[in-house]
Structure 1
Amino acid sequence: MERIYHLIKLLLYIAREEGVEVNATKLQKIFFLLEKEGGVDLGLEFKPWFFGPYSSILQDCIEKLVDSGDVDVKEQEIKDMLSNEIIGYKRVYILNSDFSKSENDKKIEEFFRKWVKMSRSDILNYVYKKYPEYGKYSIIKDKILGIFNE
């Protein structure tokens, strides 16, 4: 688990350097791609879920970093466009502790830097097109992005 904690902090460190946000969906998809395309086996056991590939192990790790104070969470309201009622919250993760990169992080740092700069929609489109088996329960895929109706 220590390696996963370190890599979460590395991703959030890079996000801070790049001036971009990392929400829960983006975090999940970047780590999914790190395993699938980066060749880094972290044993995260991704499963198909409502917003594409999801790892409860990864979510537990980020929650432990939040509980320990290493990571802050900023919640942003999501409002229904018609009623203006709050229908959910977008969680944005922010590194809240000192962090030092190691020489061993170079390859993963490059990988993270590429993906963290991309929008959440671009990452979701990429994942849904390349790994459709992980998006079979996705509401976003069918209702918002519509990429499988083409």
Structure 2
Amino acid sequence: MRVAEDMHAEVTATKIQKIFFLLQMEGGKNVGLKFEPYLFGPYSEELNETIIELVERGVIEETAEPLVDPFTGLSLGYKRRFKLKERTNVKVEPEVEKFFAQWVTRDRREILNYVYRKYPDYTRYSVIREKVFGVRNGL
């Protein structure tokens, strides 16, 4: 989060999930998270619980706005954004910080598009797969 703040990058729940997924898959860092195919692509319940804990402890601040399907008008949930409330001196490996910085500045749609195309097994249950990206199971 400190890197995102320094780079003035928006941090959403979707971005966090996908960046940590890519950190494990491509960055070669096993951070002990299990990812499963889910409604918006790869998802880790453990990561979500950690984020909730950090919000409850006051380390990060969460804001949420409704996420509505533009085609049906149905509510898909909330777009959750996070911001560091207090700067901490947590030691992060330089290569992990560099990896995070490389991805956090990218647009959420760009990250999703990359993950959807490269890891179709993790995006097969996505509710936004065809409507937002125009991709099908065959990619």
- TM-score normalized by the length of structure 1: 0.83
Does the 8 Å CA contact 2:2/2:87 hold for their aligned counterparts? no
**Correspondence list, 1:81-92, <5 A:** 81=70, 88-92=77-81
Q: Which residue of 1 is the match for residue 43 of structure 2?
A: 54
- Give the CA deviation at 1:80: 5.3
Gaps of 5+ in 2: none
| Correspondence 1:118 to 2:111 | no
Q: Which residue of 2 is the match for residue 18 of structure 1?
A: 7
Does the 8 Å CA contact 2:39/2:127 hold for their aligned counterparts? yes
* CA RMSD of superposed structures (Å): 2.0
| Correspondence 1:128 to 2:121 | no
- Give the CA deviation at 1:119: 0.6
Query: C-alpha deviations, 1:111-136, integer Å up to 9, x for none?
Result: 00100011111101110111100001
Report how many residues are paired: 138
Query: C-alpha deviations, 1:35-69, integer Å up to 9, x for none?
Result: 00011101211000010000000001000001111
Q: Which residue of 2 is the match for residue 75 of structure 1?
A: 64
Which residue, 83, 93, 102 being the options, matches 2:82?
93
Letter in 2 for 1:19: H
**Inter-partner Cα distance in structure 2 for 1:147 and 1:84:** 21
**Inter-partner Cα distance in structure 1 for 2:97 and 2:39:** 28
* Structure with higher helix content: 1
**Inter-partner Cα distance in structure 2 for 1:50 and 1:87:** 10
Q: Which residue of 2 is the match for residue 28 of structure 1?
A: 17
**Inter-partner Cα distance in structure 1 for 2:102 and 2:67:** 27
Secondary structure of 1:139's partner?
A: coil
- Give the CA deviation at 1:96: 1.0
Secondary structure of 2:66's partner?
A: strand
Gaps of 5+ in 1: 1-11
- TM-score normalized by the length of structure 2: 0.89
Q: Which residue of 2 is the match for residue 7 of structure 1?
A: none
**Inter-partner Cα distance in structure 2 for 1:31 and 1:126:** 14
